[in-house]
Amino acid sequence: MEADVKVPVIWSDEHLLVINKPAGLLTLPDGFDPSVPHIKGVLSPSWGPLWIVHRLDRDTSGVIILARSAGSHRQLNIQFQERQVSKVYHALVLGNPIWDSKIVDLPLRVNAGRQHRTVVDLREGKQSLTQFKVLERFGNNCLIEAAPQTGRRHQIRAHLYAEGLPIACDDLYGSGSENRLSEINTSSGDRIGTDQPSLTRSALHARSIELSHPITRKPLSFEAPYPQDFRVTLDKLRMVWS
């Protein structure tokens, strides 16, 4: 089953494996159903033992770094803990802010409520900071770059939701059917993808990552191309708003 999942490899050496995770693939095994495909289960048969260094949500696509030895895993963990790793995400959101760039500094509390969401909590939340920049505008929607400076669970999704800019197709932080790309209005009153939306999962992509090689200390930078659903949706929006 897992062998059928195709995972693009961006770069590798004897210490690291860098992949472009497809949306829908778990980073870690499912606690209730171990048969659900996950990164190590898919890749280990071809690449040998792998250590998970950081995670992406199931519906989030994009770049992930994997360690190929325990020593590399330890060194990479230190870099993440000491915030020496720079990550950039791209998100297609509902809404069009008045700002071109903004730093959101709102404390977040994870696992709140019955849905286990991450929420802004000024009293009990932990400091959380994300830098946002608008890359492209499409009427009532836009493409936003997000650079998290802290590593809270669902941080980007929660901060954008707090700004009134939920990520398209994000059911957990959106509002049901009106958060679907098939419901995105264009200036002409038509709708994008009325028959079948290009994106049916959260429109969040881990675009790039910068860090130091765990052994050589050489600076490394990797970028993950957009997957087809993300790319096609952007192309449709560009056609309408060009």
Both tokens of 157, joined, read 């999704």
Task: Output the average pLDDT for the chain.
Answer: 90
Q: Nearest CA to 50 among 84, 85, 21?
A: 21
Q: For the chain, what is the domain count?
A: 1
Residue ranges of alpha helices (H) inside the chain are 39-47, 70-81, 155-162, 228-241
- % of the chain beyond a pLDDT of 90: 78
pLDDT digits (tens, 9 = 90+) for 65-96: 999 999 999 999 999 999 999 999 999 999 99
Of the residues 30, 57, 170, 229, only one is catalytic, namely 57
Distance CA 21, CA 29 (A): 15
- % of the chain beyond a pLDDT of 70: 89
57 is catalytic: yes
pLDDT digits (tens, 9 = 90+) for 210-223: 999 999 999 999 99
Distance CA 77, CA 209 (A): 15
- Domain membership of residue 169 as a residue range: 2-241
Distance CA 158, CA 82 (A): 23
CB 62 within 8 A of CB 56: yes
Distance CA 208, CA 87 (A): 6
Q: Note if the pTM is more than 0.85.
A: yes
pLDDT digits (tens, 9 = 90+) for 128-155: 999 999 999 999 899 999 999 999 999 9
pLDDT digits (tens, 9 = 90+) for 155-191: 999 999 999 999 999 989 975 444 555 555 544 445 5
Position 121 confidence tier, pLDDT thresholds 50, 70, 90:
very high
Distance CA 71, CA 123 (A): 39
**Residue 234: partners with Cβ closer than 8 Å, 6 or more residues away:** 92, 136, 143, 226
CB 76 within 8 A of CB 211: yes
Residue 75: give its domain's CATH number.
3.30.2350.10
